Structure 1
Amino acid sequence: MIVMSGFSCAKACLLSVQEVEEALETNTSQGLAHDEVKRRQTNHGHNEFTIEEDTSLFRKYLEQFKEPMILLLLASAVVSMFMKQFDDALSITVAILIVVTVAFIQEYRSEKSLQELKKLVPPKCHCLREGVMETFLARELVPGDIVTVSTGDRVPADVRFFEAVELSIDESSLTGEEVPARKSTEACETSTHISDRHNVGYMGSLVRCGSGRGIVVGTGENSEFGEIFKMMQGEEAPKTPLQVNMDSLGKQLSFYSLCIIGVIVGLGWVQGRPLVEMFTIGVSLAVAAIPEGLPIVVTVTLALGVLRMAKRKTIVKKLPAVETLGCVNVVCCDKTGTLTKNEMTVVEIITSDDQHLTLDQASGDYILDGQHVSSLESNHTLAKVLTVSALCNNAHEVDGQIHGNPSECALMAVVTQLNFHQVQQKYQRLEEWPFSSETKYMITKSVDSYSNIFFSLKGAVEKVLGLCDSYYYHGAASALTPDDQKRILSNASSLGSRGLRVIALAFSSDGKTYTYLGLAGIADPPRQGVLESIEALYQCGVKVKMITGDSKETAVAIAQQLNIFTSGDVAISGVDIDKMTQPQLRDIISRVAVFYRTSPKHKTVIVKALRSNELVVGMTGDGVNDAIALKTADIGIAMGKSGTDVSKEAADVILVDDRFTSLISAIEEGRGIFHNIRNFVLFQLSTSIAALTLIALSTLLKMPNPLNPMQILWVNILMDGPPAQSLGVEPVDPDVIRQPPRQVKEHIITRGLVLNTLISSFIIVCGTLFIFWKELRDNMVTPRDTTMTFTAFVFFDMFNALACRSQTKSFLQIGIFTNKAFLLSVGGSILGQFLVIYFPPLQAVFQTEALYFSDIMFLLGLASTVFIVAEIRKLVMSRKFCCRKSYNLDNIV
């Protein structure tokens, strides 16, 4: 016996039930024999996803040490140990452990996205074997099994239905469409898109109503969700821009360190000094040049950003993802559940006498012809519409929540909101003719307390009008003329062009001829605040593109409401994408605003095409069908409430309250974090270069060392300690969000940063050497000489930190007291410096002596020059920028 190889839903849906039965060698009335099941399990395996643990956790942890920055720091720690600089070795080791541990946790958590797919397989199923209906674990299913599903069940495997009784299945987690798919048994004409396959059910999808029986055609990794699983295994999450920058910085520092060693050793060899001695000095200077506090500050800065974002209902799972948000220049949005509520809502009702009941998106209230609904008793037509909406309806309320078919829930919500639900208590249902794909309408027969019969009808416009010979006009029935029908169809077309699902309503007293009542336009409306958020994204240089499984009409209509789709924009389908080559898609993708009828594979192709154009892509989504694209994108953003576990595990960021508006604050935080990291790098490099230059000059010129080892250690503590780290918690500059996203190729160390670093370092070195020269006039190094030089360098360091709070704005503009952590750390450092100078036990340790008050004031005045020069530079740069803006404006005028 050979089971058809490569069998899938795409093939099975095109075949008749008998052909599927023959291909899988099964029997719809008896099922498979137990022996046959065992043979098929040997060939196909269990109905589950297998995740191979090919690498141990310990090995994965060790692999984190391969990063260039980590290797450089490891080398620095080893050298520090050999040179008995145990304090430096300890601080570097701590930095390494923090960074490596955080990176390991990120990788470990990201792999859970694959494990979450296992939850899609229901624990139990109902299966027919050897003519007996059995209930067992779904993992035991094999192709050819006969299964039964009913309301509330999850489909246990990919199934080709041969029996469907009012069967509707929610496939939104796979297709993105909010309307449950109505299932039938006839063979499909096409299987191009998932939503075209009306006779199959997919593993993990939820049965909303009805019941059905079918043949299992795909299990485990051979199911439709299995395809997603295999694609996720094949996708590797890209490195964040910050990780790329840190790698680049590590390579730059390695290069500079080797250059320093070479220069120092070379000059010493020319002077005739011992090579071993010069090599030791060169290595010491190279280690001193490495800002070992950088990884710690980056980690702390990102972690604090994560905490701030958590307060704004945004959870960041991976620390570098915080900064990546600031680089995003295009956001791909899944429509259902992200831009829209994923709740079918009646947004407009047009009654038979042309009254318009509309939903006010801002307040959530219904407005009748521009006014709030005051009384339904006086409005006979609207009362009739609500009566039919309530009676021709199987939705029911439980604990304040309406359950049932989404369209019927939407109609019942209007009835409830307008306090008309008591009408159900006045009628008793006698009979129901349910909706079917053939009739495309539903009829109920009810009776009131006076024994009056009332037939309610709802369905497709053409079908309902075909049963009507009159329409309701101000409390009475009027003959339905061809002109009236044209008017009604025009109203229906108007609603449909806005992407609304249109339902017609009518009633009858005899069940033979009906009186038309009106149209209900049902939509999945945009989330509150989404339009404003999209406009804000456009203002800060971020483009928005919609990706959905919906039809073109619905997708474009919603996109137009949200200003995503405007004149000149293009909408293409998944079928169009399949016909394009990668270069063709890359060329056109910048003009495409809407992608419709897409599959999970298409979403991934779209994200990759955007990234190939050197764009930083953010992808939002909530369904299983979004998981691959969420992982492939530079930053994956999942919905917290409506999102599936798979999407949340695959994402980097989770919006807890599902509010798209939270994305704006997240981007603002991300941009601010990079600015803070760059400010810290400016401070670290300028101070490190100044300290390095002092040591190098004293060594090369054979001068006495201006600082003793304990004083150098204290300076290193200040460089890497609280004053430096407090720069990482600088509040986000509001102007950041109005700037365009930074380029990914833009390095942390830019030409402007290097220039600022050299200017600050030059001032610090000149000022400190001036103090050392001034105090060294007697050609003897005394405790006062080193104390004055040491204190001068520390004061320069503190003023330099103050200047580094912002590279563009004066400290008066950013606010003196906006960063309390900075004030406390600098104040604590200065207090510590005074203890070193004036506290006798510390005087002995650091070899210092007390200075006069006039000495302190003189040193403060001199050290402030680094701050004053920086402030003057910022002022000049801001005036140049303003002049440039004025010039541009003049040209425009």
Structure 2
Amino acid sequence: MLNIDNSVTVDDLSSIVANENLQLINERYGGVSNLVDRLGSNRENGLTNQEASNPARVEMFGRNKMDEIAQKSFLFFVWEAIHDKTLVILIVSAVVSIILGLTVEDPKTGWIDGTAILLAVLIVVMVTAGNDYNKEKKFRKLNSIRNERNVSTIRSGRVSPISVYDLVVGDIVKLETGDTIPADGIYLSGQGLSVDESSMTGESDSKRKSNTEPFLLSGCQVLEGSATMVVVAVGMHSQWGKLKLLLQSPNSDTPLTQKLEKLAEVIGKFGLVAAILVFAVLLLKYIIHFTTTHQKWQWSELGTIVGFIVTAITIIVVAVPEGLPLAVTISLAYSMIKMMKDNNLVRHLEACETMGGATNICSDKTGTLTQNRMTVIRKCIGKVNHDYSEEQKDNLLLESPDFLTLLSEAISLNSTAYIEKHQDRLNDHIGSKTECALLEWLDKIPNQSYDVVRNENKSRLVRTYPFSSEKKMSAALLKNGNKFRVYAKGAAEIVVSQCSSIITERDPIKMTKEEKLLLHKEIEIYASDGLRTLVLAYKDIEDQHIGNDLSEDIIYSDLTFICLVGIKDPIRKEVPKAVKKCQNAGIFVRMLTGDNILTAKNIARECNILREGGIAIEGPQFRQLTDNQLDSIIPHLQVIARCSPTDKHRLVHRLRELGEVVAVTGDGVNDAPQLKEADVGFSMGIAGTEVAKEASDIVLLDDNFNSIARAVLWGRNVYDSIRKFIQFQLTVNIVAVLIAFVGSITNGESPLRPVQLLWVNLIMDTLGALALATEPPTEELFNRLPYGRYDSLITYRMWRNIIGQAIYQISFLMAILYGAETLTTLFDLPALSAWTPQDKTTYHTIIFNTFVFCQFFNEINSRVLTNDLNVFRGIHKCYIFLGVLFFSIGVQILLVEFGGEFFGTRHLDYKQWFFCIIIGSGGLIWGFILRLIPIKDKQIQQRPPAKAELLDEIPGINYDIERQPLLGPKSNWRKAQNIFKKINVISAFRNQPRLKRTKALFSTKNSNNQTGLRRQSAPRQ
């Protein structure tokens, strides 16, 4: 029997957690303890296994597992691919062609044309389905890494590890440092529990949990402390689960997809119009001939009319760009495989090409721009001394064993964090990232190990004082012979204010006012450089005081200063260069972070994101902006600090409304809506949550911004590959359709037989797609602006090349077609009047062969989209292109020499071959001439840097405009700061106005030259 109060519903529990409504728990259920009882559980003993496995409990509150979508089969992707509009047209054309071929033409060969079309469709469908299927398998494999884990749960009064999927509402769960909260719950008891809720709320600061702040969200990590909680919402009813359900909205078409659909429609209409005209002209000529000769109608004449239909359908088949979807698929699939080597797991193939047109990248800071590993960057050990480098300071510690012991104990024993060490990869930091930075620093000092220090002093530890948000400090109390020792650490300015003495190489000495002021100025300098400051201190307490109730006031007073450390999450070494590449490529890089504006601006400067004229703003100020106000600063907005998920979503949405192509990064559950909103969403493969990965288009396997830059490169390469193929494809189609059109009207038949056209249309296009869509990218792609969302797919230069090559080919082919009487001598053929059917076939073979070789050489021309005169640049590295080209030439030779009646060809002698190759290769010279015609393509304009005097003040809004530093990065700015810092100390005691003015000039906190101008406008009255 289920012992649960029916008044407790799953919706009520979910709502309480969502709103963090402790008052409602007290009013409706009589407090947390009564709620536990109403859930049929017990604070001390938890549920019994029988109660937990009761189906009624699961039915009432659900399972701690999302409803997984069944794995899609290969046939599903085949069925999905075959619904493409272009492929449907091809299938209909193929069926009609086969029916006509078997009923009207020679049944022995009439099936060939339609079958060839179906073969083309089959290739496209199988390649598309295969890529989608493999992509799905790879993503499922990625998710399987985080699969099942065990959770410490109290069942029947005993702590038992159970599967996270077996958790039910009412379970009592034990949490320790490093654990991931397995479900939504309410805090029952614990000590010093600190939780990282950034994945759900976007707030970077850790949250302290207690009976007054009891709500624990699934997916968040325990940074320090321990606790027990009661599970109140699981699976789809948890906040994590609800957010995941919001991600099931369909994705919109990408910019390139939309452009390709329009292009396919235009080409299809062109072919349809040409086919209708051909059929109409042929039918009209037939009717005129039939009526003027006064012939009697016979049903056998129907075959002639059906032949007209076959000719018209052949033109449609030639015109429809069936190679286009194949080129797209091949290019995207090739890029996807190569991008894996650049640590980009592409979930949606279309994201590859979309990145080619990206105009904005909105990047997180932690882990993407930085290493996500807090590191001790600077330190001040004992008295302030600027005569030593950071490495020299560490070496000096080795010369003072007693002092080193003091420092190692202060770091190791006043901490609950730990490090999981690995030989083949970076160590894992478990617990407070700040404490882990100290532990890493200690372990790098020769012969030092925090683990050894903890084991040796385990018996000395009497009590710990968890970090207090009020005191901004934590402490550990240890036995020290006949005395007791306190090791304290905390916010630098707070701890220094509580210090009365300072450590030296021998014994502690009293801290003077000058030394304390020097330390405070040092803290300011650390903070101005974006460092998180922390001070370690200690004090000895006489034995008799321990019997009393030691308050925190006693513990945290009269301390001895050990050292000041500046901690920072360093930027990745490759990030500044990658950001610079993106900016040179016309991409606006913005940083959105939950950190304070000072830290955000320092990191943004290091990454080259915040530049002269750029605007930095905090989230609360950003939220006050109207759309019009946002539009006025958005061209210059480079940093948003204290950024919430809502802020990020609004910015991304507004950028897209303004026509920008936006890429955004995210790792938390709260980032999922923004990842879906963006044109391309990047999730973190290491630090990212499952929800973020599922909402994203590309997973960064190394969480590195440099991988985003590589994705831009591949995206642009995809875009260029499609354009190269379109340049090649349209030339082939225009020439083939016009030759078939003109020949059919003038001679009553096309000079190119349907099976020859299908070799051109199927094999040439398929191999052309393979050749042009698999060229590797070059760094030169970073040297131009992105393609805009509304930029034309076919540029002016492409039209110049397409029309120019079409004119060249059509001119020579028409000359051959209608200059037979003149060319018979050149080709060693008899006079036109004496031609046999074999001579006519030979002449048509020359036309066919010349046409094909024109395409071979134009394929080389199509490698270039710019005015570059060297079409062979880098061709030696394009192995697939060269392989496809030589293979195609080999097949063409075999078709001409051995195709016979099946392909409508005859053997050609060396003169005829030489003529075909000369006309074809002439296209290279003609292409060289075409590229000398000066044509510039329209590109989106670079945004000019912001001018402070040109930006209207926004009432009530504070924002910073970055200024050019007064002293450059290679100047003696740091030395000047240190000198004036010492002068300021003296000035504080002498009260000299002149030095106060100097302080105002060089203040790192308010100077325009270092941190930019803070623009403030008073609200209008």
Structure 2 length-normalised TM: 0.75
Paired position in structure 1 for 2:851: 793
In the alignment, the residues of structure 1 paired with residue 881 and residue 742 of structure 2 have an alpha-carbon distance, to the nearest angstrom, of: 32
Q: 2:516 aligns with which of 465, 474, 485?
A: 485
- Tell me, yes or no, if the aligned pair for 1:164 and 1:213 is still in contact at 8 Å: yes
| Shift in alpha-carbon separation, 1:699–1:394, aligned structure 2, 3 A | closer
**8 Å Cα contact 1:80/1:88 also seen in 2:** no
Within 5 Å, which residues of 2 pair with 1:508-587?
508-510=539-541, 513-566=558-611, 568-575=613-620, 585=630
Structure 2 vs 1, CA of residues 121 and 172 (structure 1 numbering), >3 Å: closer, same or farther? farther
Q: Distance in 1 between matches of 2:661 and 2:28?
A: 46
Instruction: Please say if 1:410 is aligned against 2:467.
Output: no
Q: CA deviation at 1:677?
A: 1.7
* Rounded Cα–Cα distance in structure 1 between residues aligned with 2:374 and 2:913: 72
Segments of 5+ residues of structure 1 without an aligned counterpart are 187-197, 360-365, 886-893
CA deviation after TM superposition for structure 1 residue 479, in Å:
2.7
- AA of the residue aligned to 1:299: T
Aligned equivalents of 2:93, 2:388: Cα separation in 1: 69
Name the Cα RMSD after superposition: 4.0
Answering whether residue 119 of structure 2 is matched by residue 98 of structure 1, we say: no
Is 1:821 equivalent to 2:847 in the alignment?
no
State the identity as a percent. 28
Indicate conservation of the 8 Å contact 1:764/1:793, yes or no: yes
Q: CA deviation at 1:614?
A: 1.3
Contact 1:351–1:382 (CA under 8 A) maintained in structure 2: no
Aligned: 1:679 with 2:724: yes
The corresponding residue for 1:8 is: 16
| Aligned with 2:893 (options 801, 822, 834) | 834
| Residues 1:581 and 1:789: Cα distance change in structure 2 (over 3 Å) | same
Correspondence for 1:300 among 330, 335, 359: 330
User: Does the 8 Å contact 1:21/1:28 carry over to 2?
Assistant: no
Aligned residue in 2 for 1:237: 251
Find out whether 1:461 has 2:506 as its counterpart.
Answer: no
| Deviation per residue, 1:833-873 (Å, 9 max, x gap) | 333444xx544544544433333333322332222111111
- Of 912, 922, 925 in structure 2, the residue corresponding to residue 855 of structure 1 is 912
Distance 2:461 2:495 in 1: 21
Contact 2:589 2:638 in 1 (8 A): yes
Aligned runs of 1:691-702 on 2, under 5 Å? 691-702=736-747
Q: Distance in 2 between matches of 1:679 and 1:559?
A: 37
The within-5 A match list for 1:253-652 is 253-273=267-287, 277-355=307-385, 366-368=390-392, 373=395, 376-377=398-399, 385=407, 388-396=410-418, 399=421, 401=427, 403-419=430-446, 421=448, 428=457, 429-437=460-468, 438-445=470-477, 455-473=486-504, 475-510=506-541, 513-566=558-611, 568-575=613-620, 585=630, 588-652=633-697
Distance 2:233 2:624 in 1: 27
Partner Cα distance (2:241, 2:889) in 1: 62
User: Residues 158 and 202 of structure 1 are in contact (CA less than 8 Å); yes or no, is this contact kept in structure 2?
Assistant: yes
The equivalent of 2:703 in structure 1 is 658
Q: What residue number does 1:149 align with?
A: 175
Alpha-carbon contact 2:186-2:230 (below 8 Å) kept: yes
Contact 2:222 2:431 in 1 (8 A): no
- Partner of residue 165, structure 1: 191
Matched residue count: 856
How many Å apart are 1:583 and its aligned residue?
Answer: 6.2
Could you tell me how far apart the structure 2 residues matched to 1:828 and 1:52 are? 44
Q: Counterparts in 2 of 1:754-833, with a 5 A limit?
A: 754-776=799-821, 778-779=832-833, 780=835, 782=839, 783-808=841-866, 809-811=868-870, 814-833=873-892
Shift of 1:700: 0.8
Question: Over residues 859-889 of structure 1, what are the superposed CA-to-partner deviations in whole Å (9 max), with x where a residue is unaligned?
Answer: 32233222211111123438x89xxx9xxxx
The equivalent of 1:193 in structure 2 is none
Query: Residue 210 of structure 1 aligns with which residue?
Result: 225
Distance 1:858 1:258, change over 3 A: closer
Shift of 1:672: 1.7
Q: How many angstroms does 1:295 deviate by?
A: 2.0
* Post-superposition offset of 1:166: 1.8
1:250 aligns with 2:264: yes
- Amino acid of the structure 2 residue aligned with 1:443: A
Contact 1:344 1:522 in 2 (8 A): yes
Matched with 1:69 is: 86
Q: CA deviation at 1:414?
A: 1.0
| Cα displacement string for residues 147-173 of structure 1 (whole angstroms, at most 9, x for unaligned residues) | 543345443332232423121234343
Residue identity in the other structure for 1:766:
S
Structure 1 pair 657/607, CA: closer, same or farther in 2 (3 Å)? same
Measured against aligned partners, the alpha-carbon deviations of 1:695-719 in whole angstroms (never above 9, x if no partner) come to 2111111366433444444433552
Answer yes or no: is the 8 Å Cα contact 1:72–1:250 preserved in 2: no
1:199 corresponding residue in structure 2: 214
How far does the alpha carbon of each residue in 1:727-750 deviate from its partner, in whole angstroms, 9 at most, with x for none?
222332442221111122234334
In structure 2, runs of 5+ residues without a counterpart are 1-5, 42-46, 102-112, 288-303, 543-556, 822-830, 942-1021
C-alpha contact 2:203 2:644 (8 A) present in aligned 1: no
Contact 2:39 2:169 in 1 (8 A): no
| Counterparts in 2 of 1:505 and 1:54: CA distance versus 1, 3 Å | closer
Q: SS of the counterpart of 1:331?
A: strand
Q: Which residue of the partner structure matches residue 874 of structure 1? A: 931
- 8 Å Cα contact 2:176-2:226 kept in structure 1: yes
Q: Label 1:457 to 1:107 Cα distance change in 2 as closer, same or farther (>3 A).
A: closer
Is the 2:223–2:430 contact (alpha carbons within 8 Å) kept by the matching residues of 1?
Answer: no
- C-alpha spacing 1:830/1:446, structure 2 compared with 1 (3 Å): same
| Offset from partner CA, 1:434-453 (integer Å, 9 cap, x none) | 233154333345578x9897
The separation in 2 between residues aligned to 1:133 and 1:367, in whole angstroms, is: 47
Distance of aligned partners of 1:877 and 1:78 in 2 relative to their CA distance in 1, 3 Å threshold:
farther
Q: Sort the Cα spacing of 1:811 and 1:822 in 2 relative to 1 into closer, same or farther, 3 A.
A: farther
Deviations 1:557-588, CA, capped at 9 Å, x for gaps = 32233232345444455555655666665565
Q: CA–CA distance in 2 between the matches of 1:618 and 1:798?
A: 38
Structure 1 position 183 matched with structure 2 position 183:
no
Q: Within 5 A, what are the aligned runs for 1:17-32?
A: 18-19=26-27, 21-22=29-30, 26-27=34-35, 32=40
> Does the 8 A contact of 1:352 with 1:518 survive in 2?
yes
Letter in 1 for 2:190: A
- The 3 A distance-change label for structure 1 pair 142 and 461 is same
Amino acid at match of 1:802: I
| Cα-to-partner distance string for 1:100-121 (whole Å, 9 max, x where unaligned) | 52586499679979x9699799
Tell me which amino acid in the other structure corresponds to 2:182.
P
Question: In the TM superposition, what is the alpha-carbon distance from 1:377 to its structure 2 partner?
Answer: 0.6
Contact 1:143 1:216 in 2 (8 A): yes
Instruction: State whether residues 32 and 145 of structure 1, in contact with CA within 8 Å, keep that contact through their aligned partners in structure 2.
Output: no
- Structure (1 or 2) with the larger CA radius of gyration: 2
The answer to which of 800-809 and 66-75 deviates more is 66-75
Structure 1-normalised TM-score? Answer: 0.85
**1 CA distance for matches of 2:83 and 2:138?**
19
Could you tell me how far apart the structure 2 residues matched to 1:67 and 1:836 are?
32
Deviation at 1:89, TM superposition (A): 2.2
Superposition deviation, residue 283 in structure 1: 2.3
CA contact (8 A) 1:771 1:792 kept: no
Checking the alignment, whether the CA contact within 8 Å between 2:174 and 2:229 is kept in structure 1 is: yes
Matched residue SS, 1:485: helix
> Which amino acid in structure 1 is aligned with residue 373 of structure 2?
E
